[in-house]
């Protein structure tokens, strides 16, 4: 995905990987961290916030949205309500509504890093990369080793064609958080798509193999093998969770990328 002479191919291929290739559905990730500030006694006693959070965690987004919206009216002063509502909207791809909810959370808890991280995540999704970079840099000015902010900043650099900076950022995080799966997975993908598939394979295999890592790490390892020309290794990985026809489609996609990444 990352070309030296033709940088726009990086973003095009990334979008293809996310949208068209099933095993690459979450290639560049930033972690969503929960927030648990004090809740007022009425909400806690009723268990409403806990029920809403459970619905969100189980993926029942319509129920979660309904519950969080009701809570935002009955307990508008609770930061956790606005964060939960924002997370629900974000997962529904309603990014402007998510932004509004996260901003309400940030107004109530100005020092809460999770609200700023969430707003940066929205900026990335709507391609407001300058704003996202500025938010991540402000967070890192206060907490230089924050792995979520480092992962997010690396994504911004990758998506704006600054792949060396992206890789430096991921490595900075891994120097402190050696077992962070998001940083490792993002770095592996960035290396693979910037013409360094062998280094990407080594990074994604790591010291513990790939079986216990994030699913995206496994996906990206298959991609790295494919870009390296090791279709046998890529196929062996893909066949563990995909039907053969889909595997062949992905191998063809890797061949296409291999011809265009120099």
Instruction: Please state whether the predicted TM-score (pTM) of the whole model is above 0.75.
Output: yes
Average pLDDT over residues 167-172: 97
In the Cβ-directed half-sphere of 221, how many Cα atoms lie within 13 Å? 24
Average pLDDT over residues 143-156: 95
CB 30 within 8 A of CB 151: yes
In the Cβ-directed half-sphere of 214, how many Cα atoms lie within 13 Å? 23
CB 224 within 8 A of CB 197: yes
Q: How confident is the model at residue 211 (pLDDT cuts 50, 70, 90)?
A: low
- The token pair at 204 is 């994604």
Q: How confident is the model at residue 215 (pLDDT cuts 50, 70, 90)?
A: confident
Spatial distance between the Cα atoms of 228 and 198, rounded to a whole number of angstroms: 6
- The token pair at 32 is 């969503």
Query: Comparing 109 with 28, which gets the higher pLDDT?
Result: 109
Work out the mean pLDDT of the chain and round it to a whole number.
83
């Amino acid at each position: 995905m990352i070309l030296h002479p033709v940088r726009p191919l990086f973003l095009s291929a990334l979008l293809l990987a996310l949208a068209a290739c099933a095993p690459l559905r979450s290639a560049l990730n930033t972690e969503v961290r929960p927030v648990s500030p004090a809740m007022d006694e009425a909400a806690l006693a009723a268990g409403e916030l806990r029920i809403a959070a459970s619905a969100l965690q189980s993926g029942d987004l319509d129920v979660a949205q309904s519950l969080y919206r009701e809570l935002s009216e009955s307990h508008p002063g609770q930061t956790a309500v606005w964060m939960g509502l924002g997370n629900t909207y974000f997962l529904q791809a309603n990014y402007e509504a998510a932004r509004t909810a996260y901003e309400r959370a940030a107004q109530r808890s100005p020092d809460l890093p999770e609200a700023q991280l969430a707003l940066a995540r929205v900026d990335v999704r709507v391609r407001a990369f300058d704003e996202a970079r500025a938010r991540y840099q402000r967070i890192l000015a206060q907490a230089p080793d924050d792995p979520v902010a480092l992962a997010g900043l690396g994504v911004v650099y990758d998506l704006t064609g600054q792949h060396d900076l992206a890789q430096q950022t991921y490595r900075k995080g891994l120097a402190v958080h050696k077992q962070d799966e998001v940083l490792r997975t993002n770095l592996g993908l960035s290396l693979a798509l910037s013409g360094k598939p062998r280094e990407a394979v080594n990074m994604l295999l790591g010291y513990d193999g790939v079986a216990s890592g994030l699913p995206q790490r496994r996906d990206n390892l298959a991609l790295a093998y494919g870009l390296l020309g090791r279709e046998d290794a890529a196929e062996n990985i893909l066949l563990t969770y995909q039907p053969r026809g889909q595997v062949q489609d992905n191998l063809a996609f890797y061949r296409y990328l291999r011809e265009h990444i120099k």
